[in-house]
Amino acid sequence: MTASKDCRRCALCTGRTNVVMPEGDPSSPIAFVGEAPGAKEDEAGRPFVGLSGRVLNQLLEEEGLYRSKVFITNTVKCRPPGNREPTQAEMDACLPCLESELEGRKVIITLGRSAARDLLKRPVVMRDEVNRPRKITIRGKDAILIPAYHPAASFYNRKVKDSIRESIRNARTYL
C-alpha cells in the first residue's frame, strides 16, 4: 500500500495542504524516517525541505551519501496541527504505507523519538537508544534500525550533528 494524495485514513487529512510523499531513490537499501511534515513540507508536498532538511542534506553530503541516493519518508505523511507529535492512532493509520515503503530496505535510520517508537513498537528514551542498532522485521524481512536524533534537535545542541553523522557512518557499515 502506498500513500495516496487524497488519503483520508486519519484526521490529519482535514488540516493538510499536501500529502507529503517519500523522496529519493525508491530502490535505495537505506531509508531515513522522520517524524512528520512541518509547514514547509506541507506547503511543498516534499519531505525535509525546511530547516531540518537543510541539516539533513548537509550531513548526508558531508558523509558522501547524497539525498538522491537514499530514501526519505516520515511516520505520517500529513502535517499535524501546530507541529505537534503525531498520535499513536495517526501513526497506526499510516503504518501500512510506511511498511510498504520500508519493506526490503537493509538499513533504516529513524530520526527522532516518534519514528523510533513507531518502528520499534515500544516507548523510546532517545539517550538510551541512539546509535544502538536493532534488528527489526518488516513484513517478514529483516532490517537494521539505527535510532538517530532528529535534525531539529541540532538547533538546541551542537553535539547532535556529530551524533547524526555517527548514525550515518554506522548505517554505511551495513551496506
Residues of this chain that interact with ligand URA (CB under 6 A) are 34-38, 41, 47-48, 50, 52, 74
State the minimum distance, in angstroms, from the CB of residue 90 to ligand URA: 13
Nearer to ligand URA, 47 or 144 (CB): 47
End-to-end alpha carbon distance in the chain: 26
Whole-number Å distance between alpha carbons of 26 and 70: 8
User: Minimum distance from CB of 140 to ligand URA (Å)?
Assistant: 27
How do 141-148 and 134-138 pair as beta strands?
antiparallel
Identity of the residue, 42 or 105, whose beta carbon is nearer to ligand URA in the bound complex: 42
48 versus 71: smaller Cβ distance to ligand URA: 48
Q: Closer CB to ligand URA, residue 66 or residue 155?
A: 155
**Can you tell me whether residue 1 is helix, strand or coil?**
coil
Cβ 104 to ligand URA shortest distance, Å: 22
CB of 54 to ligand URA, least distance (A): 10
User: Checking phi first, is residue 32 left (phi over 0); if not, alpha (psi -120 to 50) or beta?
Assistant: beta
Strand extents, DSSP E, the chain: 23-24, 30-34, 71-74, 107-111, 134-138, 141-148
